[in-house]
Amino acid sequence: MARVDMTETDHGGAGSGRPRSRFRTALDALRHDRGIWRRGILLAVTAVALTLLMVFHSDIPNRIGNLGSLTETFLPWLGLFVPLLLVLALVRRSATALIALLLPAVVWLNLFGGLVADKSAPGGDLTVATHNVNADNPDPEGTARLLAASGADVLALEELKGDMVPVYEKGLAETFPYHSVQGTVGLWSKLPLRAAQPVDIHMGWTRAMRASVVTPKGEVAVYVAHLPSVRVKLNAGFTANQRDSSANALGEAIAGDRHERIVLLGDLNGTMNDRALNAVTSQLRSTQGAAGDGFGFSWPASFPMARIDQIMVKGVEPMSSWALPETKSDHLPIAARVKL
């Protein structure tokens, strides 16, 4: 069988007659390609625009359809444009586009690179979890069993439908001897609860509460909240005004809390990047950002694209944060381990 020669012979210049690799031949061709800097200008401009969008996302106005908040909700996904533009730049053999792509790549890594690495650590005193169980959950019994087996010491549930509350109470009673339900949110605990009460977040009905969890190392103020849902509509954009108003009210309640150790559990219908939640996020740390492994997206459960369910803390140290197995809800339950 004939042997295929993968080299070419250099017939001219210094070293004439020596074998020459195809890679070097291609490299020389690119070096002498005068269009390598002129091609791909549109791709380079797109890369610069992507960079500016990520750097100045907080300057995108919310006056028109809450466009700024919508962009910030899915901000991490802008990074997908980088490999796409890279492929196009290689196809076009454009040095200009390849160099321009360094800009969005560096900015994305600066914004989100820290979330990719595993920051979890062993130890901690208290495991907390939260889950929007979905009012139309077809299997509340199964959901309760999964949550009871989660290992949580304190469990918050949101979107509790009235006739389903007894189902969750029965399914969680053996694991969590203490609980309180306020409106459509509830808190279950292995440790004693004290002073459970609703929190007014300007909804007209109760979707937030506060209670003190009595631990061996002292009390921890625990808030449970389910902020109003948001929608994306063609004629109205990102409809989040009621959510924003409730976030401000929740932020005021937390700011007025004199307790040194605070944990917030719930479905905030917004991400940590969303400026509309500043009243809350400016006071508390995200356990996922501080001690998580990856982005920890929680919604929708079938293909998580955003972390709108949050565990946030003040006065305690996050040690680890993770998502729990999927239930029949459209949200994933999430958990965190904290050190008191």
pLDDT 10s digits, 55-105? 999 999 988 778 888 899 999 999 999 999 999 999 999 999 999 999 999
Query: pLDDT by residue (tens digit) across 36-69?
Result: 888 899 999 999 999 999 999 999 998 877 888 8
Claim to verify: residue 37 and residue 155 sit in the same structural domain: no
Q: In whole angstroms, how far apart are CA 278 and each of 5, 101, 186, 197, 247?
A: 65, 31, 24, 24, 8
Of 14-23, 187-196, 247-256, 280-289, the one with minimum mean pLDDT is 14-23
* CB contact at 8 A, 296 and 321: yes
Q: How far apart are CA 123 and CA 297, in angstroms?
A: 24
Query: pLDDT by residue (tens digit) across 232-245?
Result: 655 445 667 899 99
Task: Give the per-residue pLDDT at 23.
Answer: 61
Q: How far apart are CA 241 and CA 234, in angstroms?
A: 16
Claim to verify: residue 175 and residue 293 sit in the same structural domain: yes
Claim to verify: residue 167 and residue 77 sit in the same structural domain: no
70, 95, 116 - which closes a domain: 116
Give a yes or no: residue 14 inside a domain.
no
Burial 152-175 (b: 16+ CB within 10 A, else e): bbbbbbbbbeeebbebbbebbeeb
Higher pLDDT, 119 or 22: 119
CB atoms within 10 A of CB 15: 8
Please give the average per-residue pLDDT across 17-36, as a whole number: 62
* CB contact at 8 A, 180 and 211: yes
Claim to verify: residue 161 and residue 264 sit in the same structural domain: yes
Give a yes or no: residue 43 inside a domain.
yes
Please give the average per-residue pLDDT across 20-28, as a whole number: 64
Claim to verify: residue 69 and residue 162 sit in the same structural domain: no
* CB contact at 8 A, 232 and 70: yes
Give a yes or no: residue 4 inside a domain.
no
Report angle CA 326, 329, 333 to the nearest 5 degrees: 50
Give a yes or no: residue 121 inside a domain.
no
Claim to verify: residue 172 and residue 213 sit in the same structural domain: yes
Q: Which one, of 202, 199, 205, 203, lies nearest residue 187 by Cα? A: 199
Count of domains in the chain? 2
pLDDT value at 141 more than 90: yes
Query: pLDDT by residue (tens digit) across 154-165?
Result: 999 999 999 999
Reported as a pLDDT band with limits 50, 70 and 90, residue 33 is low
Reported as a pLDDT band with limits 50, 70 and 90, residue 166 is very high
91, 116, 141 - which closes a domain: 116
Claim to verify: residue 145 and residue 232 sit in the same structural domain: yes
Give a yes or no: residue 12 inside a domain.
no
* CB contact at 8 A, 187 and 180: yes
Tokens representing 158 are 């949101």
94, 116, 138 - which closes a domain: 116
Claim to verify: residue 111 and residue 131 sit in the same structural domain: no
Report angle CA 212, 217, 222 to the nearest 5 degrees: 25
Tokens representing 245 are 């108003």
Give a yes or no: residue 267 inside a domain.
yes
Claim to verify: residue 105 and residue 67 sit in the same structural domain: yes
| Mean pLDDT for all residues in the chain | 90
* CB contact at 8 A, 211 and 193: yes
Task: Give the per-residue pLDDT at 18.
Answer: 53
Give a yes or no: residue 170 inside a domain.
yes
Query: pLDDT by residue (tens digit) across 317-333?
Result: 999 999 999 999 999 99
Claim to verify: residue 137 and residue 110 sit in the same structural domain: no
Give a yes or no: residue 288 inside a domain.
yes
Q: Give me the domain span that covers residue 316.
A: 126-339
Please give the average per-residue pLDDT across 175-199, as a whole number: 98
Claim to verify: residue 68 and residue 180 sit in the same structural domain: no
Strands (E), the chain: 7-9, 19-21, 126-132, 154-158, 178-182, 185-189, 193-198, 208-215, 218-226, 231-233, 237-239, 262-267, 285-286, 309-314, 317-323, 334-339
Question: How many angstroms from the chain centroid is the CA of residue 237?
Answer: 21
Claim to verify: residue 177 and residue 88 sit in the same structural domain: no
CATH of the domain at 147: 3.60.10.10
